Amino acid sequence: MTEEQFTVSLSVNGTTRPVTVPARRLLSDAIRHDLELTGTHVGCEHGVCGACTVLLDGVAVRSCLMFAVQAEGQQITTVEGLAGPDGRPHPVQQAFRECHGLQCGFCTPGFLTTIAAALEDYQPNEEISADEAREIVGGNLCRCTGYQNIVKAVGRAQEIRAERAGVVPDPAAAQDGL
């Protein structure tokens, strides 16, 4: 039996390309094998580890828990799409480097996309507490770092966002009503 094939236009990191896939092709596999964007990693392949997390219209989702045929018409951002057009690292990428937020790097793409999406829920002048940082990365597994430096990198990424936006986070400012 030959499987029915579907031609789907996948918009990944601002580029739209057609792929022809069976309905069962996981979005993670379409990204890695059909589009050859191997930055997205596949760990458990059933939604537990978070390594395959990508952004779907800016929202973090597991690419192993979606089919490629479902992604038509939506904007996908993978880890390759986080850096600016000039190649400048995304704040979370710079923070991971500064804070030593990775060791082997297998889980890193999932952490970077997850945190990049979460940062958008905060204004650049807001601080992210360690508890909030832990909640943000709670769905991603890392077997190397022990998470301490990843949690630090979340806070540092937010600082870098503030620095780039020209604002300095100042928790006293909100209290003073300034």
Partner 1 sequence: MKPPAFGYAAPHSVEEALAVLADLGYDGKVLAGGQSLIPLLSMRLTAPHTLVDINRITGLADISVAADGSVVVGALVRHAELLADESAFQALPLLRRATSNVAHPAIRNRGTTCGSVAHADPSGEMTAILAITGGSVQIAAAGAPIKDVPVADFFLGPLESCLGSAELAVSVTFGAPAPRSGSAFLELSRRRGDYAMCGVAVTVRIDENGTVTDVRASYLSVGPVPEVHDLTAAVEGQAATSADWRAAGELATTLVEPESDLHASADYRRRLVAVLTERALPRAAADAVAGSEAAA
14 is an interface residue for partner 1 by CB under 8 A: no
Q: Is the dihedral of CA 132, 133, 136, 138 positive or negative?
A: negative
**Closer to partner 1 at the Cβ: 14 or 22?**
22
Of these, 14, 23, 123, 130, which contacts partner 1 (CB under 8 A)?
23
Which phi and psi angles does 18 have, rounded to 5°?
A: -80, 140
Beta carbon of residue 78, minimum distance to partner 1 (angstroms, whole number): 14
Which of 53, 64, 65, 13 is CA-nearest to residue 137?
53
Residue 31 C-beta: closest distance to partner 1, Å: 15
**Cβ distance to partner 1 smaller for residue 138 or 168:** 138
Nearest-approach distance from CB 60 to partner 1, in angstroms: 4
**Which of these ranges, 32-40, 52-60, 97-105, 148-156, lies near partner 1 under the rule CB under 8 A?**
52-60
Q: Please state, in angstroms and as integers, the Cα–Cα distance from residue 145 to each residue in 56, 75, 142, 148, following that order.
A: 27, 31, 6, 7
Considering only 13, 53, 145, 149, the residue that binds partner 1 (CB under 8 A) is 53
CA 86 to chain centre: 19
